[in-house]
Amino acid sequence: MRHLNRPEDDSQNLLFDADIGAWWHTQLSPQAFRRLEAGMEGLIRRSLLRLLPAGQMARHFHPTVGRPTKELYAVCGLLLLAEFRDLTIDQAADAWSFDASVQFALNLPRDRQYLCPRTVDTYRQLLREDDTAQDIFEKVTAALVEELGLEIGRQRLDSTHVLSNMATFGRLKLLAVTVKRFLTQLRRHHPGEHAALPEELRARYDAAESRLFGFGSKNPVPRDEALQSVGEDIVVLLERFAEAPDIASRTSYKALDRVFKEHCEVQAGGRLKLRDKALDKNGQSARTLQNPSDEEAGYSGHKGAGYQVQIAQTFGQSEGDPGLIVACVPQSAADSDSGALGDILGQQERMGTLPKEQLADTAYGSDANVALCKEKGVDLIAPVPGRTPVRAPAPAPCETSSPREEKSTQAVIASEPNDTATAVINSQPINRIEQRRAAQQTLEWKERYAPRSGIEGVHEALDRTTGVKHLRVRGKKAVHMAIHLKVTGWNIAISARLLVQRRRKARRADRTNADTPTQGPSCIPRTPPFARRRLHRHRRPPTLAPSPSLKSTFSPQRSHTIGLRRFLRLHLQASCGHHFRPCLCQRFETPGLGGTRQFVGPARSSWLDRILG
């Protein structure tokens, strides 16, 4: 049975404000409550919890029949906070049960809260299958931009590599692990078919994945021999179970068939040959299988296997905080940056966050992307890809040409008007590229393009805060959901920090206005009280040592005169200030039980001699 309470509906149906007697007012200190209310937890509870897709998740549960679910708006908020904090399933369940900050953000009661880790995994699976994480990012980010009134006219764009929770294999290990996982599934679901396989074939893959073909041992199987053996085993398995639909429909069998087609080929006479380079059905190597556990992961020659995410961030705000991420498009690592600009602009158009100026690196700077941005009203500032062509010097005019030959050449050119018009049309992109190359050398263009490098720092800060570059999940849907929720949490945290800065500036402005009169001759700006306290803070006076030239020896007959000398020294300090001039002080020595004692006292004079005599 679904449990669904829209946050704004509860407050409208109550006669009194329930927030006044809430547990965070009675069980938390005022300082702790102010910190939660000013942080991202308070922003989620006040404004963003109602934007989460709890209604779409509620469709998986019956309205009246069955055990009640947890409150679904709070569940969606928990999954968002868990991804932002990079929590495991067990840690997320503990946060629901024990963490006061999470309970405050999700508007939960403090007492008798419990959530099973398996239930957390079920809710996360439902959110992943609904594919609503992108909707969460777009709605929450658009609401934050609108509520805060942020400037989004200037943005910078770049991609960063994301590694899912998968191992990186070489060719031999990839083939061997794919065969082993197929045999493991075959033994689990079809034990009879597994037992009918040749004993030698089954024995080769009984070892652990890290020990196949002697990996990690003193006597490993030679690589070429092991590759040939694995290829022959794959051929045997594919031919044996090709006609069994219940086995051929399994993902492990499909991965086996895919990896064979990408790495091997059968020549004439049935001879098996390994390709020099793995190729997919389109003749490309970037989209070949990298790991049977994550079939959608691609390969980038520059960054490696895995995924990537396109991120566009605003910059240039007067508040000085990192800008919000207003575009987030996860992709396979095999996708190029140049082809991703259309998806980024489409997402920004849906969210209403299209910029006036977009800074990007050379990978996005093709002439087609510049034209595409111009159609959307966006000025793309990116270097022209490729090297600047070196032009050959113009040929010198031929002195032997006669006027008759020149006239014949002009006649030939004039007789082909279509070719001339085509050449002029084809030269237009070349002229635009040349103009862009010339503009890149100007100081104005370099100053406009200089802030682009700041996006690299955003990538690093995002990874340190949320762990976006090393995810705990694998698979396309799980990776995309994790990236969208992590970026959404980043935007919420940045917005909360921005609100705190605005409140501080407002309080300082109010304090300054209260101290500054608006009428009369005394309306001169004065130093604020807190600044005056710092300026008039008590400072300890420096200690001045007496001059060594004034040292003398004085030996009184009675020891009780030491107290009198100290009294005189304190009296002179009180009358002359915290310290007196060195010319008025002198070092005295007096014998004692522990030896000669020294102290600083007033210089000897006639009246002092009469007193001490």
pLDDT above 90 (res 192): yes
- In this structure, the number of other CB atoms found within 10 A of the CB of residue 383 comes to 17
Residue 282 has pLDDT above 90, yes or no: no
138-142, 292-296, 504-508, 509-513: which has the minimum mean pLDDT? Answer: 509-513
- What CATH number does residue 327 fall under? 3.30.420.10
**Final residue in a domain of this structure, among 130, 153, 182:** 130
Residues 6+ apart with CB under 8 A from 385: 362, 363, 365, 366
Separation between Cα atoms, residue 346 and residue 369, nearest integer Å? 13
pLDDT at residue 560 in the model = 45
Give the pLDDT confidence score for residue 555 in this predicted structure. Answer: 44
Map 495-512 to HEC letters: HHHHHHHHHHHHHHHHHH
Strands, E, within 437-534: which ranges?
none
The pLDDT of residue 1: 85
- Angle (nearest 5°) at CA 475 between 487 and 238: 165
Mean pLDDT of 84-88: 95
- Confidence class for position 405, pLDDT limits 50, 70, 90: very low
Q: What is the pLDDT of residues 353-380, one digit of tens each?
A: 999 999 999 999 999 999 999 999 999 9
CA angle at 127 for the pair 124 and 131, rounded to the nearest 5°:
140
Shared-domain flag, residues 237 and 376:
no
* Residue 527 and residue 562 in contact, taking contact as beta carbons nearer than 8 Å: no
Question: What pLDDT, on the 0 to 100 scale, is given for residue 611?
Answer: 47
Q: Give CA–CA dist 500/506, Å, rounded.
A: 10
- Max avg pLDDT among 211-220, 395-404, 460-469, 516-525: 460-469
Is the pLDDT at 535 greater than 80? The verdict is no
Characterize the bridge pairing of strands 585-592 and 595-602. antiparallel
pLDDT of residue 513: 79
For residue 103, is it within any domain? yes
Query: Rounded distance, CA 234 to CA 353, Å?
Result: 51
Q: Do residue 338 and residue 442 come from a single domain?
A: yes
Q: How far is Cα 467 from Cα 24, in angstroms, rounded to an integer?
A: 30
Rounded to 10 degrees, the C-alpha dihedral 28/33/36/37 comes to 140
Contact (Cβ atoms closer than 8 angstroms) between residue 466 and residue 83: yes
**Nearest by Cα to 164 from 459, 474, 465:** 474
More confident residue, 145 or 268: 145
What single DSSP character describes residue 388?
P
What is the share, in percent, of the chain residues with pLDDT greater than 90?
53
**Does 245 map to a domain?**
yes
Q: Which residues of 51-77 are buried (b: 16+ CB within 10 A; e: fewer)?
A: bbbbebbbeebeeeeeeebbbbbbbbb
d(CA 457, CA 126): 34
224: domain range? 171-274
Asked if residue 526 belongs to a domain, the reply is no
Give 402-427 as a DSSP string: -HHHHHHHHHHHHT-HHHHHHHHHHH
Determine whether 404 is exposed, middle or buried from the number of CB atoms within 10 Å of its CB (0-12, 13-18, 19+). Answer: exposed
% of the chain at pLDDT higher than 70: 74
Q: Are residues 140 and 124 in the same domain?
A: no
Structure tokens belonging to residue 326 = 């207003």
The model's pLDDT over 433-443, given as tens digits with 9 standing for 90+, comes to 888 888 889 99
- At 489, which helix (H) or strand (E)? helix 476-515
- The model's pTM is 0.77
Does residue 519 fall inside a structural domain? no
Distance CA 194, CA 495 (A): 57
Same domain, 222 and 243: yes
Are β-strands 357-359 and 154-162 bridged in parallel, bridged antiparallel, or unpaired?
A: parallel
- Asked if 189 and 159 sit in the same domain, the reply is no
HSE value, Cβ hemisphere, 13 Å, CA-based, for 203? 3
Band (pLDDT 50/70/90 cuts) for residue 571 is low
Residue 256's Cα: distance from chain center in Å? 36
Based on the fold, state whether residues 466 and 369 are members of the same structural domain. Answer: yes
Domain co-membership, 112 together with 142: no
Do 183 and 52 fall within a single domain?
Answer: no
Contact (Cβ atoms closer than 8 angstroms) between residue 313 and residue 155: yes
Is residue 417 in a domain? no
pLDDT at 11 over 60: no
Beta strands in 378-480 (DSSP E): 379-381
The H helix count followed by the E strand count for the chain is 26, 10
157 plus 186 within the same structural domain: no
- Which SS3 state, helix, strand or coil, does residue 240 take? helix
What is the identity of the amino acid at 135? D
pLDDT tops 80 at residue 575: no
The whole-number pLDDT of residue 543 equals 52
Q: Which residue has the higher pLDDT, 81 or 15?
A: 81
531 forms bridges with which residues in the sheet?
Answer: none
Q: Is residue 476 domain-shared with residue 503, that is, in the same domain?
A: yes
Mean pLDDT over 383-406 rounds to: 60
pLDDT given at position 597: 47
Give the lowest-confidence range in 13-22, 281-290, 580-589. 580-589
Q: Is the pLDDT of residue 581 over 50?
A: no
First-to-last alpha carbon distance for the chain, in angstroms, is 104
pLDDT(399) > 70: no
> Is residue 404 pLDDT above 80, yes or no?
no
Closest C-alpha among 304, 305, 303 to residue 294: 305
195 and 144 within one domain: no
In a domain, 398, yes or no: no
Residue 275, pLDDT > 50, answer yes
Burial annotation 453-486 (CB, 10 A radius, 16+ → b, else e):
ebbeebbeebeebbbbbebebbbbbbbbbbbbbb
Q: Is 519 a residue whose pLDDT tops 80?
A: no
Residue 293 lies in a domain: no
Q: Of how many residues is the chain composed?
A: 613
- Which of 48, 89, 56 has the alpha carbon at shortest distance from 72? 56
* Residue 205: per-residue pLDDT: 92
How many domains does the chain divide into? 4
Q: Are residues 144 and 194 in the same domain?
A: no
Statement: residue 41 has pLDDT above 90: yes
Phi, psi (rounded to 5 degrees) for 384: -75, 125
Q: Is the pLDDT of residue 548 over 60?
A: no
DSSP string, 544-590: PPPPGGG------S-TTHHHHHHHHHHHHHHHH-SS--GGGEEEEEE
Flag whether pLDDT at 47 surpasses 50. Answer: yes
214: in domain: yes
Answer for the pair 295, 434: CB distance below 8 angstroms, yes or no.
no
Question: For residue 67, what are the contacts with CB-CB under 8 A and spacing of at least 6?
Answer: 1
Q: Give backbone dihedrals phi and psi of 204, rounded to 5 degrees, phi first.
A: -65, -25
Predicted local confidence at residue 283, as pLDDT: 84
Question: Residue 420 — pLDDT band, cuts 50, 70, 90?
Answer: very low
Structure tokens at 511: 């304090």
Structural Rg of the chain based on CA atoms: 39
Give long-range contacts, CB 8 A cutoff, 24+ apart: 119-123: 119/70, 119/93, 120/78, 120/79, 120/82, 120/89, 120/92, 120/93, 120/96, 121/89, 123/57, 123/70, 123/75, 123/79
E-assigned strand segments in 361-402: 379-381
